[in-house]
Amino acid sequence: MSKLLSTIQSPMQLHGMSPNELNQLADEIRETLCSLMSIRAAHFASNLGVVELCLALHSTFDFRRDRLIWDTGHQIYPHKLVTGRYDEFQTIRTRGGLMGYPNPAESEYDLFVTGHAGSSVSTVVGLRSGDDLMGVKDNHCVAVIGDGAFPSGIVFEALNNANTLKSKMLVILNDNEMSICPRVGGLASYLDRLRSNPLYTGLKQEIVSLLNKVPVLGDPTERMLAQIKEGVKAGLHGGMLFEEFGLKYFGPIDGHNIQLLKKYLKMVSEINGPVLLHVITRKGHGFEPAASDPVYFHTPPIFERRGDEVIIKKSTSKAYTHHARDAIFDQLKHNPRVTVITAAMCQGNALEPVREAFPDRFFDVGICESHAVAFAAGQAKAGLRPIVDIYSTFLQRSYDQVFQEVSLQNLPVTFMMDRAGLTGPDGPTHHGTFDIGYMRIFPNLAVMAPGDANDIGAMLDFSINHSGPCAIRYPKENAVEIPRQLQPVELGKSELIRDGKDGTILAYGIQLSECLAAAEMLQAEGLEVRVVNARFSKPIDQEMVRHAISETNFVVTVEEGMLHGGFGTAVIEAANDLGLDTRRVRRIGIPDKYVEHGERGELLHDLKLNRDGIIQTCRELAVRFCNVTAHQAT
């Protein structure tokens, strides 16, 4: 039991705490985080890194009235622990429990559900502007954003807009030299130079304070003094990039010293207008295994601590992500024109072997998805065959570039959309449920989903040799291989896996194995159900649709994506074009709602996207269209 932490029902209790009590609280938070990792996988290293920053913020500001946005949101655990959620903390990332990201439904201290990087500065600028217009001018608006997210284009759009503000707005740059993987690019180099500046903030501020006493009046001598003053300040002041945006820059300072943080937070809270406070932290701070390997311990599997030793419970199963990685590796090995591009997700996409073997054709562009896609378009125009390996949910951030730079130009870019479908405990910000609908509407773009692990390599080979853009979606799930004579992947062609005369199940994606299991059980009940591996949602296999509706009594479409605009919709559209009756078609997928977090199996069960749900739907249709009684169908 955490003696101090367990008594915290409101962050206002932190305001009266002594330095020793705050340091004790930091230790108890870290112990609670480590205990959580013994029961479930969760975001870890990033949360360890912001413990002191969180405590300093909540012991300085009153976020019942002040505003706080945690960018990306996966480092929200210490914040949840001190805002009245300690008793529920062990439920985090479970169905019905706390979300692993900020959630306004849980607490008044969470303003947005934030799961994508870079938007915090924009929302805080909007909050500041909104409060000003509503007459609330004496509060503080604070955004905490990491150095990995900071290069996102939307951040600089927000900074460009922020200098119009005259009231209190604070951006805290949490600089830990990391994204999920080590950060990349020019801004990372700039921050490294600020980190290594031998002139500490205290010295700089003392000198600047003295320089500020130089009067600025009107005669030539005084103007010359003023010019010298500004020149010296520029030489001493490392944050000139931020100053040019109109932000007052302070730092860098130690982000693990609570008293120092409180001192600077108090100081900058008295400044009207936008301020940037540069804080240096270490991911995994306070737990040496995580600090030494923050990439692995970003979201590690369940582990046990035995003294200083960490015992990891590793899975021996091979995920679809690893099959995709192997297929990408094989393409780079045999085709010198193939490249791979990722957006700060080398580790998440398991691409480390590709990066090591083909460093000249591996490109990590940071958390800059729009740039990643436009960059790929440029490579394709130059004659390369780029693969953009990216999470489905993050590809949404580059929607306009998919349209403008890739689809409109009909360029041969391949999108490998990892984490398509339900991502389980990560919840609605990370479920990749929209890509079928948002990709298949684009002309020129072929959209595929493998029925099993065997399809992935074949689909990627098809895509690399196709004349236009292609997208391949696959989930965060252990892979299944369905024994069969694998048929080649042809544009817009499905694959018949099992025949049957009573009904047809059209499977789009890895639910194919569940559909086959359902068909086996239905056969024992006397129903012969055909199972098709659809493979394509764009272009749809019209002959597949024709045969399914014309030759069997009912059709069930199955997809791990939104029903609106999804694969089932594509089937109905094709049937309409063919003049076929669609009254015997039923769609199983994700309804018009955001799916909360929970174990993947639980969520699939709730949505009837597993074997039992498919069987139930087929039985209901058999009663209506196969002259089968309800008793016979069970």
Do 379 and 325 share a structural domain? yes
Do 253 and 131 share a structural domain? yes
Do 538 and 419 share a structural domain? no
Do 351 and 287 share a structural domain? no
Dist. CA 86–CA 110, nearest whole Å: 15
Do 167 and 122 share a structural domain? yes
Q: Which residues are catalytic?
A: 283, 369, 397
Q: Identify the helix (H) or strand (E) that includes residue 292.
A: helix 288-292
Confidence (pLDDT) at 187: 62
Do 444 and 535 share a structural domain? no
Confidence (pLDDT) at 200: 38
Cα separations (Å) of 355 from 320, 323, 359, 361, 378? Answer: 19, 16, 5, 8, 21
Confidence (pLDDT) at 310: 82
In a domain, residue 615? The reply is yes
Given a contact cutoff of 8 angstroms between Cβ atoms, the answer to whether 502 and 555 are in contact is no
Amino acid at 446: A
Instruction: Tell me the pTM.
Output: 0.88
Confidence (pLDDT) at 508: 98
In a domain, residue 35? The reply is yes
Sheet of strand 446-448: strand arrangement: 362-364, 338-342, 385-391, 414-418, 470-473, 446-448, 536-538
Do 146 and 53 share a structural domain? yes
Number of structural domains the chain divides into: 3
Dist. CA 41–CA 476, nearest whole Å: 14
In a domain, residue 128? The reply is yes
In a domain, residue 74? The reply is yes
In a domain, residue 301? The reply is no
The tokens for 3 are 């003696």
Do 286 and 326 share a structural domain? no
Given a contact cutoff of 8 angstroms between Cβ atoms, the answer to whether 501 and 551 are in contact is yes
Do 503 and 375 share a structural domain? no
Given a contact cutoff of 8 angstroms between Cβ atoms, the answer to whether 612 and 558 are in contact is no
CATH of residue 518's domain is 3.40.50.920
Do 505 and 466 share a structural domain? no
CATH of residue 169's domain is 3.40.50.970
Amino acid at 343: A
Do 264 and 324 share a structural domain? no
Dist. CA 391–CA 369, nearest whole Å: 10
In a domain, residue 482? The reply is no
Q: Which residue stretches of the chain have pLDDT < 70?
A: 1-2, 178-239, 307-308, 628-634
In 3D, which of 248, 241, 302 has the Cα closest to residue 270? 248
Q: Residues 6 or more apart from 84 whose CB is under 8 A from it?
A: 8, 9, 10, 107
In a domain, residue 220? The reply is no
In a domain, residue 223? The reply is no
Which range of residues forms the domain containing residue 620? Answer: 496-625
- Give phi and psi for 619, each to the nearest 5: -60, -45
Dist. CA 227–CA 45, nearest whole Å: 46
- End position of a domain, from candidates 438, 473, 508: 473
Cα separations (Å) of 76 from 2, 100, 121, 361, 607? Answer: 19, 7, 17, 35, 28
Q: Residues 6 or more apart from 536 whose CB is under 8 A from it?
A: 446, 447, 448, 491, 492, 493, 494
Dist. CA 385–CA 122, nearest whole Å: 35
Do 173 and 48 share a structural domain? yes
Cα separations (Å) of 525 from 326, 530, 608, 630? Answer: 41, 15, 20, 12
- End position of a domain, from candidates 439, 473, 507: 473
